[in-house]
């Protein structure tokens, strides 16, 4: 009865996981016969698996309402009020999540509703707030945050309603809408990254109700996470076109012309704009959108220098990056736009023949990566705009240089030890 499998789970926990209520009843019946009250508590009700979850926790996570109801009834019979509260209801697993938290994360709305009802029966208003609505897991995410992250709209709606009932307006604003996780992302930010459009629309609606215009701008539209990326940035990079469209609509409503420029041209901690991130990951539809919006809002010179010809720390343009990652469709788009807004000299020198910090052109990196289809495109374009001499010297026989960086202290020690011990090839024995 008390044997544990490879996941450190007993038969009791496995039955809870799969919603086997009749099996649980049998196991409890036999447990009452063979185990002491203390063993029954410790090894059945409150036993924790490898992830530090009790059977109650597991049932909430899986949304097994029948099992959850039974475990709650038995807990009320077998445990002291203090044990019921602290060791069952409010117990936190290895990720610092309560049963309420995991039910929200998985979108198990019925389980969440039950847990909320029991919480109202057993907890003080302050405990209800701090342990259910405002508890943060190991990633600094509340139940509201994880429901938004997983696109669990129904669970999110419930949590918002309960938050409005039990929290002050300031608590509701600071701890639900504006709470930032360990990556400095709000619920709005993570919903944008995951492409959860329905969640995003809900959060925007609630944000307009509860936040001042300046708070809405700075915490939703212009907030940057630990990678210095806005919601617009992460949506572009992950190719969430519908989300990006929404963010742009809201931005044009709420931001000034200067702020819109800032949104389009913002660079993350790798010096990548949203445009460049989309080029790197091959998100052609997103790239098209950002280019159109850039054409509407930016001057031709800014469009050219900050989107098409912008170079990162490695001296690579978006064109270069697309060649490096083998994004043929993206490369085609960039070439078309280059032909529209660049002079013939700029098209040649700053796009086709631009060299990175290793003196490699887009043609070079495509060859290095074995991108044959893309290489064919570059060769065709080279034949169109280069002289035979330029074609030869800049595509076929250009040379690269190695990055010569100084050795670190550890590298110097490793080299020294190698030559000291066996580098000379002399047998010292």
Compute CA distances 192 → 145, 213, 272, whole Å. Answer: 13, 20, 18
Q: Please name which of 213, 138, 205, 139 lies closest in space to residue 177, comparing C-alpha atoms.
A: 205
Class of domain 236-402: mainly alpha
- The answer for residues whose C-beta is within 8 angstroms of residue 272's C-beta and 6 or more apart is 237, 280, 312
Rounded Cα distance, 251 and 327, in Å: 29
pLDDT at position 398: 58
pLDDT at position 7: 54
Q: What is the DSSP string of 60-93?
A: HHHT-HHHHHHHHHHHHHHS-HHHIIIIIIS---
- C-alpha torsion sign, points 79, 130, 91, 56: positive
Give the residue extent of every domain in the chain.
236-402
pLDDT at position 397: 67
Buried b or exposed e, range 322-354, using 16+ CB within 10 angstroms = bbbbbbbebbebbbebbeebbeeeebbebbbbb
Specify the pTM: 0.83
Q: What is the DSSP string of 237-252?
A: HTT-HHHHHHHHHHHH
Contact 267, 233 (CB under 8 A): no
pLDDT at position 88: 87
- The answer for residues whose C-beta is within 8 angstroms of residue 244's C-beta and 6 or more apart is 232, 235, 236, 286, 289, 290
Residue-level pLDDT, tens digit, the chain, 429 residues: 555 545 556 776 776 767 677 767 776 766 666 667 777 777 667 778 777 888 888 889 888 888 888 889 888 988 899 999 998 899 999 999 999 999 999 999 999 999 999 999 999 999 999 999 999 999 999 999 999 999 999 999 999 999 999 999 999 999 999 999 999 999 999 999 999 999 999 999 999 999 999 999 999 999 999 999 999 999 999 999 999 999 999 999 999 999 999 999 999 998 899 999 999 999 999 999 999 999 999 999 999 999 999 998 889 999 999 999 999 999 999 999 999 999 999 999 999 999 998 888 999 889 888 889 999 999 999 999 999 998 888 877 655 555 444 445 554 455 455 445 544 433 333
């Amino acid at each position: 009865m008390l044997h544990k499998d490879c996941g450190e789970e007993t038969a009791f926990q496995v039955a809870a996981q799969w919603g086997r209520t009749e099996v649980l009843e049998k196991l409890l019946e036999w447990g009452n016969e063979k185990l002491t009250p203390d063993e029954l508590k410790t090894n059945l009700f409150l036993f924790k698996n490898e992830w530090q979850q009790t059977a109650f926790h597991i049932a909430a996570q899986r949304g097994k309402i029948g099992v959850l109801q039974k475990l709650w009834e038995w807990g009320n019979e077998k445990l002291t009020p203090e044990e019921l509260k602290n060791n069952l209801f409010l117990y936190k697993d290895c990720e610092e999540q309560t049963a309420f938290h995991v039910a929200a994360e998985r979108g198990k709305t019925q389980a969440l509703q039950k847990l909320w009802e029991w919480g109202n029966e057993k907890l003080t208003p302050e405990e209800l707030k701090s342990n259910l609505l405002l508890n943060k897991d190991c990633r600094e995410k509340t139940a509201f945050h994880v429901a938004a992250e997983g696109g669990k709209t129904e669970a999110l709606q419930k949590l918002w309603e309960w938050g409005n009932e039990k929290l002050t307006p300031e608590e509701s604003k600071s701890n639900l809408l504006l709470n930032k996780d360990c990556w400095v992302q709000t619920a709005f930010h993570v919903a944008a990254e995951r492409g959860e459009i329905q969640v995003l629309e809900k959060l925007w609606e609630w944000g307009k109700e509860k936040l001042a215009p300046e708070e809405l701008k700075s915490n939703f539209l212009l907030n940057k996470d630990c990678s210095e990326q806005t919601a617009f940035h992460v949506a572009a990079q992950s190719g969430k076109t519908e989300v990006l469209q929404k963010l742009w609509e809201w931005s044009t409503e709420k931001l000034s012309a200067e702020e819109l420029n800032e949104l389009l041209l913002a660079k993350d901690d790798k010096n990548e704009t949203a445009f460049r991130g989309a080029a790197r990951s091959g998100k052609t539809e997103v790239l098209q959108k950002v280019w159109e919006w850039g054409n509407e809002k930016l001057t031709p010179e800014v469009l050219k220098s900050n989107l098409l010809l912008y170079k990162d720390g490695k001296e690579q343009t978006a064109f270069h990056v697309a060649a490096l990652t083998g994004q043929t469709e993206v490369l085609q788009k960039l070439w078309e736009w280059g032909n529209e807004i660049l002079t013939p000299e700029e098209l040649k020198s700053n796009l086709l023949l631009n060299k990175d910090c290793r003196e490699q052109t887009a043609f070079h990196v495509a060859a290095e990566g074995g991108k044959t289809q893309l290489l064919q495109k570059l060769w065709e374009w080279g034949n169109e705009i280069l002289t035979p001499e330029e074609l030869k010297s800049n595509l076929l026989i250009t040379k690269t240089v190695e990055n010569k960086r100084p050795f670190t202290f550890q590298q110097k020690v490793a080299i020294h030890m190698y030559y000291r011990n066996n580098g000379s090839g002399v047998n010292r024995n």
